[in-house]
Chains A and B, each alone.
Chain A
Amino acid sequence: MLLMSQRQLFCIAKAGIIPLILCTCSSQKLVAQSAAPSRGETLQLVEERVVPIIGGDQIDGATIAVGGTLIYWSRSHPGLVISRGTQTSRICVDQVGEPVGAAFVRADSAIEIVDARSRAIWQIFPHSDCRKVYPIPAGVAEILTAARGDDGWFIGGVDTHGVSGLYYFDSLRRSTRRVLVSSGRNGDPVSLRRGYLRTVGSFALLSSLQWPFEWERVDATGQRSVGGRPAGDWSQRVVPGGAINQTVQDSMRYWVGLAAMPLDSGFVQTIADPTSDHREIILYAKNGNVVRASSVSVPLGILATNPKSLTLIAARDVDKMEIVIYRWHWVR
């Protein structure tokens, strides 16, 4: 593995040249990228490259820049890994002890990282060291997860009374406030101890890993809007005839839901049977309705998406965890 300096990596990242691999099946017609998923269109994911995980099988999150530079991290490893093609390096190792979220910012020219150990947001530019830009307030006793929206960070945390909730760090005002509190019920997407946090534009996407795998879109004031509940349409499809007998329903209760992610139009989510390689990938319309579910018999889960570059990142574990980078197309 060729190790590069951070400066070199950023220079390459800014060049942003990736060969576009398109499916050339003659019977399929590519649809304009702004098209909304409908009954007649399918989402096609074409593998573009595979990135082996360095430092063991540990990965908790990843994101990819428009230019193709990938970063991934794990709470159990200091710093984060930046990868471009076969060239990989670990950055901010001395400053970031327990990363829970990272994002490209400023037109992908810099990276911000939320660190649960130093309880701070860090930033790194191409020609400088990792520097602390904002401390997380003491009211957030435990930092669970974080994801960056257009104007600031959403942070899943637990307060000093043990109540989990969603916080928002406004980058412009440089202030943090709590925007949602978990109801405490099983399957509440706000309970981020058992769920996931992603973003779409300036909104947070909260997903529960428990049945019925609910997810919802929340803005920086805590207003909930779009949401999905895949266990309705999807479970009807999984069971032939539509009738869900108790045994099947009971077994699906032990499945796990991964994070809902934004596409250029609509959303996508992986639901997994942890006792097998069976995965259901659920495609949602913009309003959160289930458009389609597709079965996959591969130990694979969607980690992140970049709607600007139509790129999707998945984690695949066939005895060795690896990241698979897909390019997506709408096919009619």
Chain B
Amino acid sequence: MKALWILLCFVGAIGIGLASSPSAANAQGSKVCLDCAYPANFCVVVYGGAGWFECTNMHPGCDFDFSLGYCSPEITMSSERIDVAPDGSMRGVAKRVALALKSSSADSRRSGNTRLNVRTTAFQGGEVTRTCGNVIIGRSYATATAQKLRAESATLVI
């Protein structure tokens, strides 16, 4: 009987490990977003008050699940919806955010309504502020760049 319990615990631990891995998260995201036009594994960066996170398979108007950034605490967001910000960039609207730290159990999760801004990892504007390996996960505009952009758009000719 004791051997059976050990075996069950061992199988359970493997299951939890697989479920929390990035590849599992990607697979889940791809599945949810199958009807969307974006290619699978299209990466975006989400930034908001809580910091920078990487996630997958976002598309404007697409309901999806995604998970986790390599450099961030383990974060799972569910029932996300990506909107287009009025300036033409993308932003995410988190209907439910569950923060699950690696060592935490289910009852330590917390959820709430959060709105996050989204830009793709391939985003070309601004300056790089943070990287994770070869992946750019943070961009911002330096003061000089922001001033230049404002000056360039003071008069537009169409």
Contact A43 B157, beta carbon cutoff 8 Å: yes
**Whole-angstrom CA separation of A45 from B152 in the bound complex:** 12
Closest CB in chain A relative to B77 CB, distance in Å: 16
Cβ 8 A contact of B38, one of A57, A194, A254, A324: A254
Contact B158 A45, beta carbon cutoff 8 Å: yes
Is B51 on the interface with A (CB-CB < 8 A)? no
Residues in A whose Cβ lies below 8 Å from that of B152:
296-298
Given A43-B158, A47-B154, A317 and B85 contact (CB-CB distance below 8 Å): yes
| Chain A, 289-322, CB within 8 A of any chain B CB | 292, 294, 296-301, 303, 314-319, 321
Interface string of B19-41 (1 = CB under 8 A from A): 00000000000000000011000
**Which secondary structure dominates chain A's binding surface?**
strand
Is B124 on the interface with A (CB-CB < 8 A)? yes
Interface footprint category on A: 35 or more
B85 nearest CB neighbor, chain A only: A317
| Chain A, 251-299, CB within 8 A of any chain B CB | 253-254, 256, 258, 268, 270-279, 281, 283, 292, 294, 296-299
Is B128 on the interface with A (CB-CB < 8 A)? no
| Chain B, 128-152, CB within 8 A of any chain A CB | 140-141, 145-146, 149-150, 152
Given A254-B38, A318-B149, A319-B146, A281 and B158 contact (CB-CB distance below 8 Å): yes
Contact B149 A299, beta carbon cutoff 8 Å: yes
Count of B residues near A, CB < 8 Å?
33
Residues in B whose Cβ lies below 8 Å from that of A23:
155
Given A279-B88, A294-B158, A303-B86, A210 and B37 contact (CB-CB distance below 8 Å): yes
Interface string of B64-88 (1 = CB under 8 A from A): 0000000000000000000011111
| Chain B, 85-126, CB within 8 A of any chain A CB | 85-90, 115, 117, 119-120, 122-126
Contact A275 B37, beta carbon cutoff 8 Å: no
Closest CB in chain B relative to A263 CB, distance in Å: 10
Residues in A whose Cβ lies below 8 Å from that of B60:
194, 209-210, 256, 274
**Whole-angstrom CA separation of A317 from B141 in the bound complex:** 10
Contact B38 A292, beta carbon cutoff 8 Å: no
Which residues of A come within 8 Å of B, CB atoms? 23, 42-47, 50, 57-60, 76, 186, 193-194, 209-211, 253-254, 256, 258, 268, 270-279, 281, 283, 292, 294, 296-301, 303, 314-319, 321, 324, 326, 331
